[in-house]
Amino acid sequence: MTSFHYQTQANDETIEHLLRQKWQAGKKTVHLMRMAKSVTDTDGEPIDWRDPLPQGTMLHFTMPEAVSNYVEEENNLPIVYEDEHILVVNKPAGMDTHPDGQRGTGTVMNRIMHYVRNNGSDYAEHIHRLDKGTAGLILIAKHPIAKTLFDRMLANNEIERMYTAELDGYLKKSKGTLSYPIGRDRSHPTRRRVSVSGQRAVTHFKVIKRSEDTTIVEASLETGRTHQIRVHFSHIGHPVKGDTVYEGSITEDGQYRLTATKISFRHPFTEQPATIEI
């Protein structure tokens, strides 16, 4: 059963306001919680949703209907961060974030499903995804309200994601912004390309290290388009090393050199700044 605790952040906060206004939880979720009397105090006693609560009141939320349907597989992925609301996992290159179909296997979410079920829950959903060849940090919600809040934060550009990439060639500019719209490549089923009719895409970067034939950069996303970093750097003539889909040079292990290294945000439940990095 999925559950979490929350400590009220202001005087006279009500559960009704918390769920409907502050968190803007889904109507179905709110209805199910109300019917199940699933908000209680620390002694397990239900609380009237209209009662004003003192700041610092500890509430317990239970979400019996929260179930994810991923097939579970034994987890061997490092959990970098975890609290009652989210966890962050370090994905290896070469693994998909989630399966294509309901019964698919071999992905991050299959392994995380095994992890959360071993810890008494049935729910886990990714907030964002990484390309199969990209390694690094993925943020995962542990209950539906966290999923709703972090999805909204992602859409509002309130989650900062930082990447490290090794590029082919000597990139002369020490820092800059790549602002090129990205759309589908009609000649290839999965490729993207810079296109005047594409979606707005903005990548900021700064150089960390250079050698004669490669450049290591730190890149942050202002938007989150499919293959954005890969497309942008390939477009300026410096593809990610190993990314042969976008004209990158071949690597010995066949993987390309792009890693999601840092996630930063203001935690919507504690209201404190949080940074998770590798």
Give the residue numbers annotated as catalytic, written as ranges: 131
Whether 140 and 68 have beta carbons less than 8 Å apart is answered as: no
What is the C-alpha to C-alpha distance for residues 135 and 229, in angstroms, rounded to an integer? 13
Give the position of tokens 């509430």: 59
Residue 115's Cα: distance from chain center in Å?
A: 17
What is the C-alpha to C-alpha distance for residues 188 and 184, in angstroms, rounded to an integer? 8
What is the C-alpha to C-alpha distance for residues 55 and 10, in angstroms, rounded to an integer? 5
Tell me which residue of 170, 163, 252 sits closest to 214, measured CA to CA. 170
Task: Count the helices and strands in the chain (H runs, E runs).
Answer: 5, 15
What is the C-alpha to C-alpha distance for residues 40 and 47, in angstroms, rounded to an integer? 5
Whether 225 and 199 have beta carbons less than 8 Å apart is answered as: yes
Q: Using CB atoms within 10 A of its CB, is residue 155 exposed (0-12), middle (13-18) or buried (19+)?
A: exposed
> What does DSSP assign to residue 252?
T
Q: Which amino acid is at 41?
A: D
